[in-house]
Amino acid sequence: MKSARRKAREFAVQGLYQWQLVQDTPPRIEQNLAETPGFTKCDLSLFRTTMYGAVKHADTLRSALQPYLDRAWDEVSPVERGVLLVAAFELVHMPETPYPVIINEAIELSKTFGGNEGHKFINGVLDKFVEQARSVEVNATRSQRGSRPSGPAA
């Protein structure tokens, strides 16, 4: 059974997918998603924080992620862009959530919604991005564990 937090992230990715394709407002997207079965079981606070926050900071997040992409932003699938925006928002704006959790959730989201190898792309981008976004936490983890910054490997 999926946790309320996992469901919130799933709905946030779905919301960002809609936002990219339809260019609707976050409140209207939320209203639309609220009619989807299972929405009432998600962590509504996390959903709102991540979806609205990722939309609000999309340009900054996109610029911060671009150096770690192997292609132009517009060549990344809308699903993968949504996953990256949610994860990058959490990495930058929600330090209370450990970065390995955020990266693992992003990988799982890309396995659920993305293409066959999308999770490897997501992992590779976020594994590099976290070095910049959470350098203090990454360095502390390295000194405790060794040299790898994150948990899941591609």
Tokens at residue 137, please? 């936490």
Tens of pLDDT, residues 2-14: 899 999 999 999 9
Q: How many C-beta atoms surround the C-beta of residue 50 within 10 A? A: 26
Q: Which of 25, 75, 80 is nearest to 51 (CA)?
A: 25
Provide the pLDDT confidence category of residue 35 given band limits of 50, 70 and 90.
Answer: very high
Provide the pLDDT confidence category of residue 146 given band limits of 50, 70 and 90.
Answer: low
- CA distances in angstroms from 113 to 27, 34, 80, listed in the order given: 22, 19, 8
Q: Is the pLDDT of residue 145 over 80?
A: no
The three state secondary structure string of 107-120 is HHHHHHHCCCCHHH
Could you give the CA distance from residue 94 to residue 98 in angstroms, rounded to a whole number? 9
The model's pTM: 0.90
Q: Which of 126, 56, 50, 118 is nearest to 86 (CA)?
A: 50
Q: Is the pLDDT of residue 121 over 90?
A: yes
CB 52 within 8 Å of CB 26: yes
Contacts of 38 (CB under 8 A, 6+ apart): 7
Q: How many C-beta atoms surround the C-beta of residue 130 within 10 A? A: 23
CB 57 within 8 Å of CB 65: no
CB 20 within 8 Å of CB 56: no
